[in-house]
């Protein structure tokens, strides 16, 4: 009797798991599936069940071929969307390989079994560094909870040693901070506010350990914080003194400039070059970004940033035996 009450659920699960446009199920297929669960059903009752599932909102399509069949049409995610999500998960450096495979397996359950095989064939394993911190899921959840509830968080923060060990900052003492937002730019970052200094700091989530949500409430935050603008003015999430910087770049680097600074940076033609003006945080990562373009890019202004970049270059040259 209990199995008969579950018939509608078994039928819905079967249509989701086994059918798609290329793989419709015949009435006999459906009856065989129900028999696996010790459910004997007449065709009329199955017709009624399919009608109920359609009333519930399932997009059950009918096909007329040699044999009449049924398949689940519209799903929450279509196959191209799932393939795109699988590509993003497989390429994410802030996910461990094990977590990536777990997420992909869950995404596959949103498609039919046949489509899931197609998704597996489309996965390209990208040989890139991945995080080794398996606590990342719990860290994200804890930070999200703290932000929503207006609480402080505490954690230990570390760097990787040459032998693969964790070298803890502050000699292992816990950081206690005010979380503001989560941000993804190549890696997963926490943006936190330091009320003593009146400034923001960034922390890599994959370098956190033993995160706890504290009972203490978060300090009052500035009301003018804009995460999009904040992240855009930094290079690889390294913060520094903010300045409006003018760069002269070859026209062929315009796409690179827009990728880095966004569409609202100011651009004007200058012969065979373009002059790009953007508000950025001055840091070694900014200098490294400019340096990669060699003579195709030049910091024009302000003079202090231009001289800072020149000093950075002299330091690099000195390291390779050139006089400063």
Q: What does the pLDDT read at residue 133?
A: 63
**CA 168 – CA 211 distance, rounded (Å):** 14
- The answer to whether the beta carbons of residues 218 and 150 sit under 8 Å apart is yes
Q: What does the pLDDT read at residue 79?
A: 84
Residues 6+ away with beta carbon under 8 Å from 229:
none
pTM of the model: 0.54
Q: What does the pLDDT read at residue 51?
A: 94
**Residue 292: CB atoms within 10 Å:** 10
Q: What does the pLDDT read at residue 239?
A: 57
Q: What does the pLDDT read at residue 234?
A: 55
Residues 6+ away with beta carbon under 8 Å from 190:
143, 179, 180, 181, 182, 183, 202, 203, 205, 208
User: Tokens standing for 101?
Assistant: 């495979």
Residues of the chain with pLDDT under 50: 127, 237
User: Tokens standing for 102?
Assistant: 């777990």
Q: What does the pLDDT read at residue 12?
A: 94
**CA 11 – CA 72 distance, rounded (Å):** 11
**CA 238 – CA 200 distance, rounded (Å):** 11
The alpha-carbon radius of gyration of the chain (Å, integer) is: 28
**CA 294 – CA 313 distance, rounded (Å):** 11
Q: What does the pLDDT read at residue 46?
A: 92
**Residue 113: CB atoms within 10 Å:** 14
**CA 43 – CA 153 distance, rounded (Å):** 59
């Amino acid at each position: 009797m209990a199995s008969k009450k579950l018939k509608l659920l078994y039928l819905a699960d079967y249509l989701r798991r086994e059918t798609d446009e290329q793989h419709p199920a015949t009435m006999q297929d459906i009856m065989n599936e129900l028999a696996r669960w010790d459910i004997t059903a007449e065709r009329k009752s199955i017709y009624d069940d399919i009608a109920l599932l359609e009333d519930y909102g399932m997009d059950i399509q009918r096909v007329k071929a040699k044999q009449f069949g049924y398949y689940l049409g519209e799903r929450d995610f279509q196959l191209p969307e799932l393939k795109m999500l699988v590509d993003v998960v497989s390429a994410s450096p802030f996910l461990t390989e094990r977590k990536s495979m777990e997420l992909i397996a869950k995404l596959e359950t949103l498609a039919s079994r046949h489509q899931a095989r197609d998704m597996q064939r489309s996965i390209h394993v990208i040989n890139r560094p991945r995080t080794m911190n398996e606590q990342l899921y719990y860290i994200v959840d804890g930070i999200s909870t703290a932000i929503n509830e207006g609480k402080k968080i505490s954690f230990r923060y570390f760097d990787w040693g040459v032998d693969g060990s964790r070298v803890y900052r502050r000699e292992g003492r816990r950081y206690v901070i005010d979380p503001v937002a989560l941000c993804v730019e190549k890696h997963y970052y926490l943006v936190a506010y330091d009320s003593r200094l009146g400034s923001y700091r960034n922390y890599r989530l994959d370098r956190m350990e033993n995160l706890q949500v504290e009972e203490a409430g978060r300090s009052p935050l500035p009301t003018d914080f804009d995460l999009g603008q904040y992240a855009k003015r930094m290079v690889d999430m390294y913060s520094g003194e903010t300045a409006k910087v003018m760069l002269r770049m070859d026209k062929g680097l315009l796409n690179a400039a827009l990728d880095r600074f966004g569409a609202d940076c100011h651009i004007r033609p200058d012969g065979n070059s373009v002059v790009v003006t953007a508000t950025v945080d001055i840091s070694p990562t900014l200098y490294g970004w400019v340096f990669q373009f060699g003579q195709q890019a030049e910091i024009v202004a302000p003079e202090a940033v231009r001289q800072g970049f020149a000093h950075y270059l002299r330091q690099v040259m000195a390291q390779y035996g050139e006089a400063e």
